[in-house]
Structure 1
Amino acid sequence: MKPTSTNTITVETTVNAPIEKVWDYWTNPEHITKWTFASDDWHAPYADNDLRTGGKFKTTMAAKDGSFSFDFGGVYSEVTEHRVIAYGMEDGRKVIILFEADGDTTKVTETFDPETTNPVEMQRGGWQAILNNFKKYTEAN
């Protein structure tokens, strides 16, 4: 499955951790709630993940001051352990995440269809900030 837009956005990072740990921290709700936010004034108070093709996931992202929250979720179209996670969001946009292991490091690349409300650079910055938070959390724990 590939994103549907020709104007996809890609963000990536290399995590200093082996693929087994990266996969666990990316997919386990216990860890998802610890990194799925772009800034320190937000948090993820809830995560549920049925990691299989056809399975659903949902993560609640919320401002710590209680002023705003939303659920981010979708349905998996492909799950290949330690390699690929692809899903569709409720609005029809597609996302694919590639995991590339190289010993004790793992490259994570996310490519997604942009939404039409916010500028592309804002979307890229937000998704990259969350990915950077994932790297920081995974390497520190």
Structure 2
Amino acid sequence: MNERSTDHTTITIERHFKAPLPRVFNAWAIPEQKQRWFACSGDWTQLDFQLDFRTGGSESNRTASTNGVVHAYQARYVDVVPNERFIYAFDMMLDDIRISVSLATVSFEPEPGGTKMTFVEQVVFLDGYGDNGSRLMGTEIGFDNLRLFVEADDTRAN
């Protein structure tokens, strides 16, 4: 029998983007846009991606790392207020092993020259999974990709 355990932590990341708030929000909300930036490794293989960004909607993303491990993300959107905030619950799996369950809140505020985004994730790592900071690192990489995406071209339509 495997030993069961829980390890709770909270991750808070604040980012400032030189892009209008609707562009930053839409990068999360529009499937074609989110799929372009929502990855922490460009050499992984996309297996499946679906996004229904609305209160009660869901998202799934499955990728395979270069060593063949399948990383699966499954989310449910609990609350969506356009251009202000959204809250979602999600779990992460490596192959068939659930490694974590999280509740995340992403809020947006306009500021001079752009948008302030605040991300707060309350995560529980399961059954001895040793994260060692990789969730924070992967999330930071994703937000670096988000920055590149939303700041790429001010004339691009949302």
TM-score range, shorter chain: 0.7 to 0.9
CA distance in 2, matches of 1:44, 1:131: 19
1:97 to 103, 106, 112: 106
Task: Kindly report the root-mean-square deviation, in angstroms, between the aligned alpha carbons of the 2 structures.
Answer: 2.3
Determine which structure has more spread, i.e. the larger CA radius of gyration: 2
Per the alignment, residue 107 of structure 1 pairs with 116
The structure with more helix, counted as a fraction of residues: 1
Q: Is the 8 A contact 2:102 2:123 kept in 1?
A: yes
Per the alignment, residue 94 of structure 2 pairs with none
Q: Deviations over 1:43-97 (max 9, x none)?
A: 646432222211111223333x472333312111110100111011246521111
1:122 to 110, 131, 134: 134
- Number of residue equivalences: 136
- Specify the SS of the correspondent of 1:40: coil
CA distance in 1, matches of 2:68, 2:18: 35
Are residues 15 and 46 of structure 1, via their aligned partners in 2, closer, same or farther at CA, if it must alter by over 3 Å? farther
TM-score when scaled to structure 1?
0.81
1:136 to 116, 133, 148: 148
CA distance in 2, matches of 1:118, 1:133: 25
Question: Where does the alignment leave 5 or more consecutive residues of structure 2 unmatched?
Answer: 1-6, 92-99, 154-158
- Specify the SS of the correspondent of 1:31: helix
Per the alignment, residue 35 of structure 2 pairs with 33
Per the alignment, residue 62 of structure 1 pairs with 64
Question: Where does the alignment leave 5 or more consecutive residues of structure 1 unmatched?
Answer: none
Are residues 6 and 122 of structure 1, via their aligned partners in 2, closer, same or farther at CA, if it must alter by over 3 Å? closer
1:120 deviates by 5.2
Q: Is the 8 A contact 1:33 1:46 kept in 2?
A: no
What fraction of aligned residue pairs are identical, expressed as a percent? 24
Per the alignment, residue 76 of structure 1 pairs with 77
The answer to whether structure 1 residue 7 and structure 2 residue 9 are counterparts is yes
